[in-house]
Amino acid sequence: MSDLMPILGYDAIEFYVGNARQAAHYYRTAFGFDAVAYTGPEHGVRDRCSYVLEQGGIRFVMTAGLTADSDIVRHQAAHGDGVKDVAFSVPNAEQAFALAVERGATALAEPWVEEDEFGKVVRASILAYGETIHTFVDRSNYSGDYLPGYKPTRHQQPAEPTGLRLIDHVVCNVELGSMDRWAKYYADILGFTQLHHFDDEAISTEYTALMSKVLWDGEGRIKLPINEPADGKKKSQIEEYLDFYGVAGVQHMALATDDIVTTVRQMRNNGVRFLSTPSSYYDDLRSRLDWSTIDADVETLAELGILVDQDDEGYLLQIFTKSVQDRPTVFYEVIERHGSRGFGVGNFKALFEAIERDQAERGNL
Ligand code: FE2
């Protein structure tokens, strides 16, 4: 077992998208993120635009390429809009990079320093699953908005926040037969341990199956579930993802809130589309769970389509959006935890059946 690499949390999730200005607008008006910083041609960057969005402790960056020969444009053509970089905040980027490479990570960018009047940021990147990367970021000596070269966004009213507070977990889909290899990667390189393991018995419907391992830092700052398709009668949602994304990549991010009812109601009003839950789910729920310890109203949950799961440690409320871009790839989970450190295993069947209804509509089941 390797020693745990010191990681403070997620620094940012950077997306490569086809139109960063419009993506930023969507996350602002639909998800309630503030647009805080920007870089692009106006600030001397010739080949791309990046918009930095923040809400609570969550930071997203929407980046688009501006020229046909741009690697960002090529990435977007190959995969559609998707997550390029799951960046980690670390106390020392040089050390994190050296340790990761020594432990077997593929080096992508040696440590580099950027400076402006607000101080300096040190970054270094390694390759992860598919074309996704992890950048180690040390911003302990920086007081600017995001990175040198970025300027505060002008002419933006603050967004109306929806209560999203932090990134709870970041899930990847990997190719058939490679879940264990990626679980070992995070164990070897970051020193993570396995929090959960779901086999295809636990995660199957009449048609499809998948397996999942959750790697984490032992404290809960970083949780990385890894999904792999398993044999089923029809095409699994993981295979559909891999067909459209082309390689392994980020499938969904769970964003935590302290008040899921308010958050989801507002996101729905803002036009975010969620997976639907049949009313039979809520009939079953009344008898399946111990309601003496759950502070939630079933009528309200049913109205909004929010799911509940319970284990020895407590309970959680969760809901899943539909894909947020044209390809059936990246989606979100909104989660409110009360003690439970689980992932809603009791809801997997209902969730997958909801995804399958959408897959069938797309002609991909
Ligand atoms: Fe999740």
pLDDT digits (tens, 9 = 90+) for 287-312: 888 899 999 999 999 999 999 999 99
- Ligand 1 centroid–CA 180 distance in Å is 19
Judge whether 174 and 182 are in contact, CB under 8 Å.
yes
- Ligand 1 centroid–CA 247 distance in Å is 20
- Ligand 1 centroid–CA 306 distance in Å is 14
- Ligand 1 centroid–CA 337 distance in Å is 12
- Ligand 1 centroid–CA 156 distance in Å is 32
- Ligand 1 centroid–CA 307 distance in Å is 12
- Ligand 1 centroid–CA 252 distance in Å is 7
Task: List Cβ<8 Å contacts ≥24 apart for 242-246.
Answer: 242/173, 242/175, 243/364, 244/80, 244/327, 244/328, 244/329, 245/79, 245/80, 245/82, 245/130, 245/173, 245/327, 245/329, 246/78, 246/79, 246/130
Say what the pLDDT of residue 1 is. 47
Kindly report the CATH number that applies to the domain delimited by 164-362: 3.10.180.10
Report the C-alpha dihedral over residues 110, 116, 120, 123, rounded to 10 degrees.
-30
Instruction: Give the strand order in the sheet containing 48-55.
Output: 107-116, 119-127, 133-138, 82-89, 9-16, 58-65, 48-55, 34-39, 151-152
The DSSP-derived string for 93-158 is HHHHHHHHHHTTPPEEEEEEEEEETTEEEEEEEEE-STT-EEEEEE-TTB-SSSSTT-EEPSS-PP
- Best CA proximity match to 246, nearest among 76, 79, 84, 133: 79
CA–CA distance, 207 with 353 (Å, rounded to integer): 9
**One fold for both 2-152 and 164-362?**
yes
- Ligand 1 centroid–CA 226 distance in Å is 10
Top pLDDT among 317 and 234 is at 317
Average pLDDT of the residues of the chain: 93
- Ligand 1 centroid–CA 222 distance in Å is 13
Say what the pLDDT of residue 3 is. 82
- Ligand 1 centroid–CA 20 distance in Å is 25
Residues in the chain: 365
Q: Give the model confidence (pLDDT) of 126-161 as tens digits.
A: 999 999 999 999 999 999 999 999 999 876 777 899
- Ligand 1 centroid–CA 250 distance in Å is 11
- Ligand 1 centroid–CA 254 distance in Å is 5
- Ligand 1 centroid–CA 343 distance in Å is 6
- Ligand 1 centroid–CA 333 distance in Å is 6
CA–CA distance, 104 with 190 (Å, rounded to integer): 10
- Ligand 1 centroid–CA 336 distance in Å is 12
- Ligand 1 centroid–CA 177 distance in Å is 21
Given a cut of 50, whether residue 170 has pLDDT beyond it is yes
Q: Give the model confidence (pLDDT) of 250-298 as tens digits.
A: 999 999 999 999 999 999 999 999 999 888 888 888 888 889 999 999 9
- For the domain 2-152, what is the CATH superfamily, name and number? 2,3-Dihydroxybiphenyl 1,2-Dioxygenase, domain 1 (3.10.180.10)
Residue spans per domain, the chain: 2-152, 164-362
- Ligand 1 centroid–CA 281 distance in Å is 19
The pTM of the full predicted model, rounded to 2 decimals, is 0.95
- Ligand 1 centroid–CA 325 distance in Å is 18
Tell the residue number behind the tokens 């396995």, with chain if given.
194
Say what the pLDDT of residue 97 is. 98
Encoded tokens for 66: 């501006």
- Ligand 1 centroid–CA 101 distance in Å is 29
Top pLDDT among 331 and 344 is at 331
- Ligand 1 centroid–CA 115 distance in Å is 37
Given a cut of 50, whether residue 59 has pLDDT beyond it is yes
Amino acid at 76: Q
CA–CA distance, 194 with 192 (Å, rounded to integer): 7
Residues 6+ apart with CB under 8 A from 336: 256, 257, 258, 259, 260, 316, 317, 318
- Ligand 1 centroid–CA 79 distance in Å is 21
- Ligand 1 centroid–CA 31 distance in Å is 17
Judge whether 80 and 326 are in contact, CB under 8 Å.
yes
- Ligand 1 centroid–CA 363 distance in Å is 25
- Ligand 1 centroid–CA 122 distance in Å is 31
- Ligand 1 centroid–CA 335 distance in Å is 8
For 164-177, letters b (16+ CB in 10 Å) and e give bbebbbbbbbbbee
Work out the pLDDT band at 118, boundaries 50, 70, 90.
very high
